[in-house]
Structure 1
């Protein structure tokens, strides 16, 4: 079953915000990853110090069907944070083909910010902004199916 969730972006206070959300919803984090934990990637300088401690990805289950997800902005290597546009809608598709179809159709007359590709965390993943200015993250992870 395709799932849709919300992904929030913060400017250095993601961990503080998600600790607050954890106190509200009462669940444990499904995953916490920091930028310093990323493997080396071509074109991105090594991340260290305060920037390395920022949240790369965090997931907090809210219910059986819903996960609140988030990250800090990527600093100089990522887009600047704009409050009011600091969220994305995530789609977890049932297949690679479905993920690609969602990505292609949603990006029509919009802007692809990351083409669909295999990632180091094991998902087939891409991002886009649709023609209405809404940010989307599309993924397929066969380990979750």
Structure 2
């Protein structure tokens, strides 16, 4: 399936119809189905290892919306927001987390946060992919 969250393949928001619906460039042929939960993600930044020649380790993303298909075509889908409980204690949203985070004993001078995207809006080109099931 195209939209596995662990894969780099994903869909994109290609049109915003109104404040309730968006169109994404993945559809039936990509494995989209009714009742599926899809996340719209913002890229926070790249993660590199400063102790290993700044080796690229991946990209850190934040979940900004949870959507579900309203209409599924062969090549695109219209998604909308339904009421889903996705609690989080961090601006880096991990889907379907329900455990409370505890404060770590860290050196404040070493904190390098990503941009806070908690108030970000959906924009054209945002990534859309399956929410992992935990």
TM-score normalised according to structure 1 size? 0.23
TM-score normalised according to structure 2 size? 0.25
Higher relative contact order (CA 8 A, sep 6+): 2
Q: Which structure: larger Rg?
A: 2
